[in-house]
Amino acid sequence: MDQAPSFADSNFPTHVCKLNKAIYSLRQAPRAWFHEFSSSLLHSSFVQSSADSSMFVDHSDLVLLVLLLYVDDIILTGANSSHLHKFIQQLSTAFAMSDLGDMHYFLGIEATKIHIDILLTQKKYSLDLLHKTGMTGCKPCNTPVAAGSKLSLLEGDTLPDPHEYRQIVGALQYLTITRPDLCYAVNQVCQFMHSPTTTHLLAVKRILRYLKHTLGAGIVIRPGPINHIQAYTDADWAGCPDTRHSTFGFCVYLGNTLVSWCSKKQPTVSRSSSEVEYKALAITTAEMIWLSYLLTDLKVSLKHPLLIYCDNISATHMAVNHVLHARTKHMEVDYHSVRDLVLNNTLKVQFV
């Protein structure tokens, strides 16, 4: 290390300053950077999204520009290429930045254009994970979970060092960004991070074997009408052998493109399968409402009510029938918000 130019000390030419703390280690640094960057955008006629604080939208000149900010990684898109390049030049004058052109790689996610479609994958991330865990030569598997299997806290012998297990499961969690087929399996193994056993480790290795079998799989984004949101929801009842909590899942489509998915254990024990499915309806509805707010910020109007498909007739009846209120008094108020949305024609629940 040398003294900085124009700040050299002639009396102590070999001395350098001791760095006590870098700016990246300060708690205020991310907030200060975000405030600086967002202030610049807001002065450039951008509006911060109310649904997602990291998204900024400019619709001032009837030319839509959308900017997504993740720390210092930026995605910028718009309908007019000349307007887009003009704004990039304007942004470059205020901040030191590089224009990398069309998006190919972002936060470990690969974007590949196939004709008019875009394929989002994490193939490189998956290969790195297999290499890191020594599973590159493993035998591929057709499914991430054995049919009908349920993991229990009491199965197997406790691992002497759970660090490796936690590290692999944490890496698998990031894969669910583009792999909805892994959500349920990863959710299962995540429940034993505090005390993993040999049985849980075998389940993790099965996921890795399935990962090798499906390298390159991901989400396809297709152009098309986006004036309606529909979702599918399902849940088991008392599926966890240890706590008898239930697991629910949903997937939400914007037009014909899958945009959101989830698999999660419910925090409370339910008295019936109808109650489990009804709670799953409420949680899925919240996700769909959030997506509708996001579309509103993007100046996209929905022409149809939000539509949820459910395979439980009792749950679909509870969503519209107040006569059943006596049976559902013990449920939280936020779950009954589904009824209000159905009554004002914002939401439609159908049996499938």
Q: Which residue, 78, 111, 85, 113, is CA-closest to 99?
A: 85
pLDDT of residue 224: 86
Domain range enclosing 34: 23-101
Q: With respect to residue 258, please indicate whether it lies within any of the assigned structural domains.
A: yes
Q: With respect to residue 1, please indicate whether it lies within any of the assigned structural domains.
A: no
pLDDT of residue 23: 63
Per-residue pLDDT tens digits for 239-295: 888 889 999 999 999 988 999 999 999 888 888 888 899 999 999 999 999 999 999
Long-range contacts, 122-125 (Cβ 8 Å, 24+): 122/174, 122/175, 122/177, 122/178, 122/179, 122/218, 123/215, 123/216, 123/218, 125/174, 125/175
Q: How far is CA 323 from CA 35, 273, 310, in A?
A: 51, 19, 20
| DSSP three-state, residue 347 | strand
Same domain? 59 vs 88: yes
Q: With respect to residue 338, please indicate whether it lies within any of the assigned structural domains.
A: yes
> Strand runs (DSSP E) across 79-137, as ranges?
105-106, 109-114, 117-121
Q: With respect to residue 11, please indicate whether it lies within any of the assigned structural domains.
A: no
pLDDT of residue 325: 62
CATH number assigned to the domain comprising residue 229: 3.30.420.10
CB 322 within 8 A of CB 339: yes
Q: With respect to residue 3, please indicate whether it lies within any of the assigned structural domains.
A: no
Q: Phi-psi category of 146—alpha, beta or left, where left has phi over 0 and alpha has psi -120 to 50?
A: beta
pLDDT of residue 252: 96
Residues 6+ apart with CB under 8 A from 61: 83
Same domain? 133 vs 93: no
Q: With respect to residue 112, please indicate whether it lies within any of the assigned structural domains.
A: no
Residue with structure tokens 């008019």?
116
Same domain? 197 vs 294: no
Residue ranges of the chain whose pLDDT lies below 70:
22-25, 322-327, 329-330, 332-334
Same domain? 236 vs 209: no
Q: Is the pTM of this model over 0.75?
A: yes
Among 167, 190, 213, residue at a domain's last position:
213
pLDDT of residue 269: 87
pLDDT of residue 172: 95
Same domain? 150 vs 97: no
Among 184, 213, 242, residue at a domain's last position:
213
Same domain? 197 vs 237: no
Same domain? 325 vs 228: yes
Q: With respect to residue 17, please indicate whether it lies within any of the assigned structural domains.
A: no
pLDDT of residue 164: 93
Q: In 214-348, where does DSSP find H-type helix?
A: 273-297, 313-318, 333-343
Same domain? 128 vs 207: yes
The Cα 84–Cα 65 span in angstroms is 7
Among 101, 135, 158, residue at a domain's last position:
101
CB 232 within 8 A of CB 150: no
Tell me, what amino acid is at 152?
A: S
pLDDT of residue 327: 63
Same domain? 340 vs 241: yes
Total domains in the fold of the chain? 3
Same domain? 136 vs 182: yes
Residues 6+ apart with CB under 8 A from 348: 305, 306, 307, 308, 342
